[in-house]
């Protein structure tokens, strides 16, 4: 199962950094620079939960867009990933639910597209086998209200 990396050299390389911890900022040299803060305080700032949710939503929807293009379908897919953080017996866990809406096609076609996207999207390849990660087709997105403190 190991991939022959010599045969497939990198097409793209980037760096994402955090130097000062959670109450600081995370950045890509010469690129995105984002204020960060702990998810449970009121300070403005993004957090790891949001970054991994953005990774999955963007990657899955980019993959769906490519599938739509290949099938000559107009782009109608949307992906909203709900990320929950909870305690565990040791430390914390993140739980991801990627809700996919494809209003432009019938249910059967949409299901097949989600299944294919999950197998193609590189972020889903990294985390999709995890029990904490669910990708599902929906007709309406969940409300996903904040947890009351």
Q: Please spell the DSSP secondary structure of 55-79, one letter per residue.
A: HHHHHHHHHHHHHHHHTTPPP--EE
Rule CB under 8 A: say whether 15 interacts with a copy of itself. yes
Of 16-35, binders to a copy of itself (CB under 8 A) are: 16-22, 26, 28, 31-32, 34
Cα–Cα distance for residue pair 48/62, rounded to 1 Å:
21
Least spacing, CB of residue 148 vs a copy of itself, in Å: 10
Least spacing, CB of residue 135 vs a copy of itself, in Å: 14
Cα–Cα distance for residue pair 97/83, rounded to 1 Å:
7
Cα–Cα distance for residue pair 98/77, rounded to 1 Å:
12
Least spacing, CB of residue 122 vs a copy of itself, in Å: 4
H helices of 71-121, in order, are 107-120
Q: What angle do CA 59, 120, 62 make, to 5 degrees?
A: 30
Site for a copy of itself (CB under 8 A): which residue of 108, 111, 113, 126?
126
Site for a copy of itself (CB under 8 A): which residue of 43, 71, 86, 104?
86
**In the numeric block, which tokens belong to residue 34?**
């984002």
Rule CB under 8 A: say whether 111 interacts with a copy of itself. no
Site for a copy of itself (CB under 8 A): which residue of 105, 120, 134, 138?
120
Site for a copy of itself (CB under 8 A): which residue of 56, 113, 114, 135?
56
Judged by DSSP in three states, 135 sits in strand
Site for a copy of itself (CB under 8 A): which residue of 43, 71, 92, 109?
92
């Amino acid at each position: 199962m190991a991939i022959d990396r010599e045969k497939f050299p990198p097409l793209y390389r980037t760096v994402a950094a955090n130097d000062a911890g959670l109450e600081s900022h995370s950045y890509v040299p010469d690129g995105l620079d984002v204020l960060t803060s702990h998810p449970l305080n009121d300070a403005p700032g993004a957090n790891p939960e949001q970054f991994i949710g953005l990774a999955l939503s963007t990657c899955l929807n980019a993959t769906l867009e490519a599938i739509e293009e290949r099938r000559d379908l107009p782009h109608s897919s949307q992906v909203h990933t709900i990320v929950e953080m909870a305690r565990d017996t040791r430390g914390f866990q993140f739980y991801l639910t990627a809700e996919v809406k494809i209003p432009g096609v019938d249910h059967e076609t949409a299901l097949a597209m989600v299944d294919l996207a999950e197998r193609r999207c590189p972020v889903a390849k990294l985390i999709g086998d995890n029990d904490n990660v669910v990708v599902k087709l929906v007709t309406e997105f969940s409300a996903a209200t904040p947890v009351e403190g």
